[in-house]
Structure 1
Amino acid sequence: MLLRDLDQIWRLIIGLGCIPAVVALYFRLTIPETPRFTMDIENNVAQAAKDVDSYLNAGLYTVEPEAVAACANAREASKRDFFAYFSQWKNLKVLIGTAYSWFVLDIAFYGLSLNSSTILQAIHFGSPSRDLTSAAAIIYQNIHNVCVGNLVLSLAGFVPGYWVCFCVIDSWGRKPIQLMGFAVLTVLFVVMGSAYPKLTETSAGQSVFVALYCLTNFFQNFGPNTTTFIIPGEAFPTRYRSTAHGISAACGKLGAVLAQLAFNWLKDIGGENNWIGHILQIFGAFMITGVASTLLIPETKQKTLELLSNEDQEEFMRTGTFCGHILTHSLYP
């Protein structure tokens, strides 16, 4: 009976998770192309005007039919241009910074989040009551306690961390938040790892460990877990923005895979879950390297994408050649 209920719950969770994905898919399929891509890459000024108008309400932008525009001649994406662009240290260091920062963040983030139930059980947080004798009751209470523990970690850490970051990211800046996050996470992981044997001995110690765990989740989201996917979407020119973001994200997922493999391999050295404290210390070592990689990244707060591209946009324009029509801003009379 218990196993059947668990199977139904699992299917229900997966099914309900599809609903927001379907809604997001609809909006993704109907959203207009970014005007920067339409104008800079496709050189389609008229379509760019329509796209801008779609974003900013009807009538704000119009195409002036009598005015001749200079022809935009932005470089086209190609392997040759890609390597030429990233062969310059000023551009390559940004890609290294975004990719490595995402890599080390996901080592710790997924190393914790995918193994939170293991860690909670290892410190005996919410362990089943010893008075239970039925195997089904023990299994149920164990799963129930793990779910409650994960809810505590999320509601006390992940959720408020995201909201705080949302409120201050445009005033404080992406880079300072990421630097602060990596620095605080370094301290938290070292403390949790070093004090792990003592904190797991008593119920009070377990509560302290869970509190530190919640702080870790908080500063992951109020820190690099938010900024590592924002900065790569702002710090590269239009023709390589998606590629550079994809490279950075792929490095992050590589870190997640390696973290999971290493966690399962290392945690039982010297006994069951005996090495978890040392794994947390290793996470701390990776976090300090994230501070170094963040120094390679520019601050993108309140800067245009053209400025952040590290390219002279004026050289993309050839005057005297008809390309389209002037895009006229008509927001104000």
Structure 2
Amino acid sequence: MSLKVLSALDVARIQLYHFKAIIIAGMGLFTDAYDLFCIPPIIKLIGRIYYVEEKQYRTTPTVVVSALVAIALLGTVVGQLVFGRLGDRIGRRSVYGLSLGIMVLSSIACGFSICRTRNCVLVSLGFFRFLLGVGIGGDYPLSATIMSEFANKKTRGAFIAAVFSMQGFGILVSSVVTMVVCKIFEATSHVSNGQIPEQVDIAWRLILMVGAIPAAMTYYWRMMMPETARYTALVEQNVLQAAMDMEKVLDIPMSQIAEDSLLPSYPPPSYPLLSKRFFRRHGYDLFSCAASWFLVDVVFYSSNLFQSQTYHRFIKDQPDVNAYELAFRVARFQAILAICSTIPGYWVTVYFIDRIGRVKIQMIGFFFMAMVYFAIGIPYKYFWSEKIGIGFITLYALTFFFCNFGPNTTTFIVPAELFPARFRSTCHGISGAVGKVGAIIGTVGFLWASRIPNNNGKPDPVRMTVALVFLGVVCLVGLAVTYFFTRETMGRSLEDNENDDE
């Protein structure tokens, strides 16, 4: 027997509140991408400030860059596990504002970073980025679950993908903010080539703090969102309250969603999380979601760090280029990549996700990513290591396009559709946490691939070849996991997908 309020949600027409929910839920993902992609140009500024020896600048060591990325990812693992579980235990809405609050405060704190000596700045920046990661991690399962439980079954995938696509705009905005800040400071500081003015130390802090503004602007609306009908009806067993909440935000008359009887139609199963019965019913799906997310994040975060080895051929990182201009060039490169590759990948997924399905898109993405990595990696030692040009950049951009028109988006969507309401947020958090472990492995792997330079000061071509081919193999493993283990969820209600019957 189906509850009327849930059936009404499954067939509800697209309304203004759906788009409002996309913006509200997507701001956490926006902040995630902003803080990840503002780091490369900031690292250039920090290198010019804190890695100067005998008036000769040095770039920030790769080990420091990887550590700053990894510490935020470690916080994300913690946030996904903790907030994912809290979302199922005390409600999505109850902890939704808390995760956003942590993101806002830690973004601001990253900008202050207490002191101005190198070791102190890096330690404090790492600590606050860990807290930022906790808030971002908490936002992943909550945003995906809330959007999936509000959406209708016909366009649910597109709505969740649209939430996730806010990452693309976060990348673009972080680049634009960096370029604007750098140009303003450069114009007002009257610097000459090679100089390192004290205002540079203010510029990178300001860039970090600006990222908190969009998230803070949505805090009020997050707190005003009602609890999802599925959590209220299926977990709290308050069907009447679920109907009342949905009447307030969606254009659905109470007569269509009120039950004839107030007795719940979906008594919750008695088995606990991670019990034998849980694994018998949901272990297959949990493995599929976690393994796919793990594999794509190994590739995705390695690719992001690989940008530093790509754009240094184009930005002309030389001593006579001032710090502002150097950071501007890095941000400009990222903005072009986002406009031409990353953002289109997200929105092609939004268009096709409810037409061809999650499984096919995930398989398409993994397959073409593998082919591109082989095309880059196999000839890297003999061709790309010395001749990086437009052909290499085009192939490199395609990895981001097919990552987003593929597993980077679908791994965010599928865990929010497969599991019962009382485990949904937790299982999404577990899947995402396993994925971020893969991301940490990716950052460490990239450190291995790029740490030892050759005589020209460039990454060792043999190591880079091995690393890039390995990423292609990882994508093929992801393709196999998707084909053999991932269930299609397109066009089905969440209750049909959850596979929670005997």
TM-score tier, shorter chain, comes to 0.7 to 0.9
Moved over 6 A (4+): none
Q: Which residue matches 1:127? A: 316
Paired residues for 1:190-209 under 5 Å = 190-197=374-381, 198-202=383-387, 205-209=388-392
Q: Which residue matches 1:154? A: 338
Q: Which residue matches 1:168? A: 352
Q: Which residue matches 1:298? A: 487
Q: Distance in 2 between the 1:302 and 1:59 partners?
A: 24
Q: Are positions 1:49 and 2:238 aligned together?
A: no
Q: Distance in 2 between the 1:226 and 1:8 partners?
A: 35
Larger Rg: 1
Match of 2:321, SS? helix
Paired residues for 1:65-214 under 5 Å = 67-72=260-265, 74-75=267-268, 79=272, 82-88=274-280, 91-121=282-312, 124-128=313-317, 135-137=319-321, 139-197=323-381, 198-202=383-387, 205-214=388-397
Letter in 1 for 2:300: F
Letter in 1 for 2:386: E
- Higher helix fraction: Structure 1 or Structure 2? 2
- Higher strand fraction: Structure 1 or Structure 2? 1
Q: Distance in 1 between the 2:295 and 2:258 partners?
A: 50
- Spell out, residue by residue over 1:240-291, the C-alpha distance to the aligned partner (whole angstroms, 9 max, x if none): 1011100011011111111111211232347341122321111111111111
Q: Distance in 2 between the 1:291 and 1:258 partners?
A: 19
What's the CA shift for 1:174? 1.0
The 8 Å contact of residues 173 and 300 in structure 1, kept in 2 or not, is answered as yes
Q: Which residue matches 1:310? A: 499
Q: Which residue matches 2:474? A: 286
Q: Distance in 1 between the 2:328 and 2:480 partners?
A: 41
Match of 1:125, SS? coil
Q: Distance in 2 between the 1:63 and 1:209 partners?
A: 56
The 8 Å contact of residues 200 and 324 in structure 2, kept in 1 or not, is answered as no
- Spell out, residue by residue over 1:52-75, the C-alpha distance to the aligned partner (whole angstroms, 9 max, x if none): 21332363456769x434443522
User: What percent identity do the matched residue pairs reach?
Assistant: 35
Q: Distance in 2 between the 1:218 and 1:234 partners?
A: 24
CA change 1:64–1:190 in 2 (3 A) is closer
Q: Are positions 1:8 and 2:202 aligned together?
A: yes
The 8 Å contact of residues 267 and 279 in structure 1, kept in 2 or not, is answered as no
Structure 2: give runs of 5+ residues left out of the alignment: 1-190
Match of 2:226, SS? coil
Give the TM-score, by structure 2 length. Answer: 0.56
Q: Distance in 2 between the 1:17 and 1:241 partners?
A: 29
Count of aligned residue pairs for this structure pair: 301
- Spell out, residue by residue over 1:5-45, the C-alpha distance to the aligned partner (whole angstroms, 9 max, x if none): 43333222222211111133322222111111111111111
- Spell out, residue by residue over 1:64-121, the C-alpha distance to the aligned partner (whole angstroms, 9 max, x if none): 69x4344435225763x54134321x52111111101111111111111134123322
Q: Which residue matches 1:17? A: 211
Q: Which residue matches 1:326? A: none
Q: Which residue matches 1:40? A: 234
Q: Distance in 2 between the 1:243 and 1:185 partners?
A: 29
Structure 1: give runs of 5+ residues left out of the alignment: 130-134, 316-333
Q: Distance in 2 between the 1:172 and 1:3 partners?
A: 54
Give the TM-score, by structure 1 length. Answer: 0.82
The 8 Å contact of residues 239 and 262 in structure 2, kept in 1 or not, is answered as no
The 8 Å contact of residues 52 and 61 in structure 1, kept in 2 or not, is answered as no
